[in-house]
Amino acid sequence: MRGEASNMLESLAKILFSHPFVSKIGCKLEKLFNSCILAPFIASFFGIKLMPVGKEFYFLECFRYKLLIPKDSLLLAIKILKQNAYEEVYRLRGGDVVVDVGAHVGIFSIKAGFEVRERGIVVAIEPEPRNYVLLKYNVKLNDLESVVMTINKACGSCHAKTKLYLASSSRSHSINRPYLQKYVEVELDTLDNITESLRLKGVNFLKIDVEGNELEVIRGARETIKRSQDLKLAVEVHIGQVNFKDVYKNILTLGLHIKYINKELSNRPVIYAEKSLY
């Protein structure tokens, strides 16, 4: 009975995230679910222990993962931890070098850290100060300080100071939303500069989720992609903030092959591409 309920709830979560008919109202449904008083009970059907921490946060335990997350990120956590978001096509391996651009509070970075921890490394890049504090906390909470390296920067096509506009959701802060009234000034850098400073010879898995700044991140990662001979890429494209065709074409010009495009969420398709040794 519990298994049937779990399958039903997992199907509901997939609908909330991905069904094209509800994509326009998905954010409202997601917000309602995340703050629902029954959220801890519902999460338990996914094998997730959830405890409210104040008005803004949940303490989450799932498998070996422990995370302090904003309440607005509960469904995202379920999607990453239970439905393998960003790993639909490629699975991480022990020893992989993973770069997480737009790491938020570290949900994907923590999962990746456990998967590559034998000989690998995760570079988690997050510009927003509050998210970054939680990112560092979650890395320490999971004893992954020797595996997950955190960097408090935004990524783009140059090195500069820039405004990061703050949204009501912790997941939606963006360089490309000047209509938002609040902002913080953050350091902007290229992925090429970051990987060179870390002396990374190559990257095996590059995840990009940057709320409309995808094209600039890719432009600033040309050398990194060029020297990464066995590279897998997952880019979430935020339609309305960046042109999908421009992102697609830029990926191709870098010698990557498009493997799959997840279009289930019509306004945030994910492009999977690779440059493989085989």
Q: Which domains does the chain have, with CATH numbers?
A: 1-83 (no CATH), 85-278 (3.40.50.150)
Q: End-to-end alpha-carbon separation of the chain, Å?
A: 45
pLDDT at 265: 75
pLDDT for the residue 91: 92
Q: What is the pLDDT along the chain (278 residues), one digit of tens a residue?
A: 555 555 555 555 555 544 444 444 445 556 656 666 777 877 888 889 999 999 999 999 999 999 999 999 998 998 899 889 999 999 999 999 999 999 999 999 999 999 999 899 999 999 999 999 999 999 999 999 999 999 999 999 999 999 999 999 999 999 999 999 999 999 999 999 999 999 999 999 999 999 999 999 999 999 999 999 999 999 999 999 999 999 999 999 999 999 999 988 778 999 999 996 65
Q: Pairing between strand 257-262 and 270-275?
A: antiparallel
pTM: 0.89
What is the predicted pLDDT for the residue at 59? 97
Cα separation, 197 vs 187, whole angstroms: 15
Report d(CA 13, CA 19) in Å as an integer: 10
Q: CB–CB of 167/229 below 8 Å?
A: no
Euclidean distance between CA atoms 80 and 30, whole angstroms: 15
HSE at residue 77, side-chain half, CA atoms within 13 A, is 31
